[in-house]
Amino acid sequence: MGATLTWNANSKPDLAGYRVYQCGGLPCTRNFWASLLVTLGKAASLNIGTPAEIQYYFVTAYDSANHESGASNVVVFIPVGSPPPPTPGGLRINSLS
């Protein structure tokens, strides 16, 4: 059981598979926060179970030459009963000189 990520399958003939990335916060990009969760074949879905904490995910496709596509949109899994994030503090406007 648990949550399942699904995405539109890539139709390129040289598609080798997909890479699913997971982040514990935002921004969720390959250059910041993201860690490779799994490399899949041509399946266009992945059961992620039921994470205990808020998690963000995105998917890329890669071809037989290992060229990787841009990232999909980012989706978020919020566990049932998760408390909201802390209220931001310290907001101020700095005067312009």
- Confidence class of residue 55 from pLDDT cuts 50, 70 and 90? very high
Tell me if 29 is assigned to some domain: yes
Tell me if 24 is assigned to some domain: yes
CA geometry: angle at 29 spanning 36 and 49, to 5°? 45
The pLDDT of residue 86: 84
Tell me if 39 is assigned to some domain: yes
- For residue 29, the 8-state DSSP code is B
User: Is pLDDT above 90 for 58?
Assistant: yes
Tell me if 44 is assigned to some domain: yes
Count of Cβ atoms closer than 10 Å to residue 94 Cβ: 5
CATH code: domain of residue 21: 2.60.40.10
Tell me if 48 is assigned to some domain: yes
The pLDDT of residue 97: 66
The count of domains in the chain is 1
> What mean pLDDT comes out for the span 42-63?
90
Tell me if 68 is assigned to some domain: yes
pLDDT digits (tens, 9 = 90+) for 69-92: 999 999 999 888 767 778 888 888
> What mean pLDDT comes out for the span 30-55?
87
Tell me if 54 is assigned to some domain: yes
Domain extent for 69 = 15-77
How much of the chain is in helix, strand and coil states, percent to nearest 5? 0, 40, 60
pLDDT digits (tens, 9 = 90+) for 3-41: 999 999 988 999 999 999 999 988 898 888 888 888 888
The pLDDT of residue 82: 67
